[in-house]
Structure formats: C-alpha cells, structure tokens
Amino acid sequence: MPAAIEATITDLTHDGKGVTRIDGKAVFVSGALLDERVLLRISKRHRHYDEAEVVELLQRSPHRVEPKCPHFGLCGGCTLQHLDAEVQIGMKQRVLADNFTRIGKVTPASWLPPLTDEPWGYRRKGRLSVRAVPKKGRVLVGFREEANPRLVADIRRCEVVHPVLGERIALLAELIDGMDAVADIPQIEFAAGDDTIALVFRHMNPLSERDQAALVAFGRQHGFAIYLQPGGHSSVHPLWPEHPRLAFTLPAGGGADDVELEFQPLDFVQVNAGMNRRMLARAMDLLDPQPSDRVLDLFCGLGNFTLPMARRVAEVAGVEGEHGLVERATENARRNGIANAHFHVANLFEDQRGAEWARQPWDKLLLDPPRAGADKLLDYLPHKATKRIVYVSCHPASLARDAGILVQRHGFRLTSAGVMDMFPHTAHVESIALFER
C-alpha cells in the first residue's frame, strides 16, 4: 500500500474534489476541502494528474459539516454533503462565472440571488442500480460507488431521494433477494408525482407468477405503482394498479389557473419538484410575459414552462424532439383547457429554419436545452423581432458558449444570470440567464 503523504488543499475542482500538488503534479483528493491540511494516499495514477483519498484530516475547514447520510463517501449519488450548504451554492455560482468569462467572454450586468429549496428528500426521479452479491449473501440496491462506478454502493436508505422511497431502499433489496429473478433485475427507475410514486423494474427474462405477485404485494403494502420493463422504453407497462396516474401541479397564477401535467414514469421531468416551482416563478419573472406576447418555448418537454406561460400570453408554441413528450404536452393542454398553446416535434440539433414555427416572428423566447446546449439553432434563431430570451441551463459550459453567440453575433445583452440548486449536495450546476436586445 502506498505511503500516506501530508499536503495542503489549495483549490477545489468543479466537481468538488480538493486540489493539491505533489512533486509538481496535480492531485485530486476526494473528501478534502479548500485550505484543509490532510494525510492522503494516492489511489489512481494518470499521466497528467493523480487521484487520492483522505487518510486523516490534520486541519479542518471551517466550512466542513457532518454529512447527514451514513453512506457518504461510499455512495456516489452526492459528493458534497461535507460542505456547508451556503458554500456549496457559492461554489456553483463561481463555476458559472468562470465559464462565462473563460468560454463565452461575457459577464452578466447583474447576478441573480441563488435559488435554493429543501436540500433533503428532494429527488423525485432517478435510477437505482441492482446487483446480487453472493459474497455478501444479499442483494444491493442503490446508486453507484463514488470510487468505483462499476459497483453498487451498499446502502440501506437514501437521504436525498423522496422519503417514501428513500426510507425503503433496504426493503426493496429484501424484496428482490426473495424473487426467482434475483439475478435478472439490473435496475429500478423511480418517478414521483404529487400523489403517486412509480417503480419501474427492468427485467432481462420473463417474471414468474410468484415474482409478479410479490411485486404487487410490495406495491400494495407501501403505496407504490409497479411497472415492468422487459425491453426498451416502449415496453414499459403497469403491473399494479391497472391504470396508475402520475401527475404534478404547477402554479400559473393561483387557484383555478394552476396547471396539472400528467406524465409517464420514464418521461423527463425536473428531478427536484420544489426547485422546479421556484425555477418556473423566476423564469416567468425574467421573461415578463404580457397578454399580447407570442412566445416560443424550445426543448419544451411536457410543457413544464409552456402551459403555465400560456395562461399569461396571447400564444405560445412548444418544440420538442421526442414524440411521446409532445403527445403528452398536447394532451395536458387539452385537459387544462388551454387552447393557445401548440406543440411541434422537431430535432433541434438539426437545421429547422424551414419549419413554420421557426419562420414566425416571436416576441420572446425560452430555451431549456440538454447538456449539449442550443448552438445549432442559434444559427437561425432568434429573429430580429425577438426582444427577450430566458435560457435555462443544466450545463454551465454550454450556456456560456451560447451566451457568447447571443451577445456577439445576435446583439443581445446578458442582463442577469444566477444558479439554481436543483441537485443539492452534488457538483451539478443548474442556472438561468436573461438576454435582452
């Protein structure tokens, strides 16, 4: 075993690892914080950097806190529980600012105060890995290990998953351990609506009647809707109850003006329900929708922004690449009595300038792209009639790149920007920015 080395942490990486230098070579130290003095041990060597783990803390950071989860350090689901929450969000704001400066060569005229919400039990969507481990004599259900992503972390509960499920991780493991298909279930997807939590069991071979009965009994006892997935996404179907319903409500002015979005368990929805409501409110404040406005919502998904916005504007069009999401967005509009929202299927990573919706002069634009960003559509949008753009981002580097395009090529001003803590205790940076002519 390599000898322990004493070192001082001089920086943090964007994913929250401590940084030091040993013999001139950068070393990234899991579990170490800025300005801490540590004994570390090299765990992996690479050509240009090494990875290390803390053996002993010699001098603690004043911002270090006790992790709430007993599995912290083993489970890779969240890696910043040892860092004070205010410092976490400050670190994310610095990551965003650095990306704007370094990649986009832009700076916001003002910084928005960070958006935060409840930091525990927030995760309503995700995937749990499953693995039968004969050496342990049982089944493991959880997220992947931080140090070795090929392995499933040995956990009994999860503090960031919706508590109805997070408190029952061990029971899920016991359930699968008693099934005939114990070696044939590699993962369980979960999705929580306002009233129902769905569990989707991926299985590599047909389930026996005994196994199906066990899953139904588990669902009945704990209040879960049980789905089976024998193949790809299209194979997902409910086992119990016969017609489960997943839905969540979003504010759109209060009372009868609120909208309800139904969804399927593998659909994309924002992971953090509380933050999603706060994000929606901020997006509406920044976009400032007016009764006469025509708004284009790109990468619209189920209509998370489109349908609440439709209550406030003359017309809104949502564009999304996945047919199933567009079908459900259209149905959600119908069920909510919204007639001024229209949806289109289009691959926004391909040139769509010939599409009717792309040729129209929209007053305002909302973007919520995946990690790749929106640079492809910024070749032909926005039109000169568009005066205001709100950009919601899950990747600061792509936002910074696209901000540079909007400012330098299209003549917009980056009016304001800020981070949103969609994934507390992780290094994930979600952000929002306002651009004006």
Statement: residue 105 has pLDDT above 90:
yes
Statement: residue 194 has pLDDT above 80:
yes
Residue 232: Cβ within 10 Å count: 8
Residue tagged active-site, from 69, 75, 158, 394: 394
pLDDT of residue 2: 77
The reply to whether 394 belongs to the active site is: yes
pLDDT of residue 253: 67
The three-point CA angle 106-108-111 to 5° equals 145
Structure tokens at 264: 């399927």
Question: Rounded CA gap, 227 and 305, in Å?
Answer: 28
* Entry field: residues in the chain: 437
Nearest CA among 187, 236, 184 for reference residue 211? 184
Structure tokens at 54: 């803390």
pLDDT of residue 52: 92
Structure tokens at 141: 């259900």
Instruction: Give 376-409 pLDDT, tens digit per residue.
Output: 999 999 999 999 999 999 999 999 999 999 999 9
**What mean pLDDT, rounded, does the chain reach?**
95
Question: Rounded CA gap, 169 and 144, in Å?
Answer: 14
pLDDT of residue 255: 55
Question: Rounded CA gap, 389 and 287, in Å?
Answer: 7
DSSP symbol at 203:
-
Q: What is the pTM of this model?
A: 0.94
Contact 312, 284 (CB under 8 A): yes
How deeply is 254 buried, as exposed, middle or buried, from its count of CB atoms within 10 A (0-12, 13-18, 19+)? exposed
Instruction: Give 36-94 pLDDT, tens digit per residue.
Output: 999 999 999 999 999 999 999 999 999 999 999 999 989 999 989 999 999 999 999 99
Question: Rounded CA gap, 131 and 147, in Å?
Answer: 17
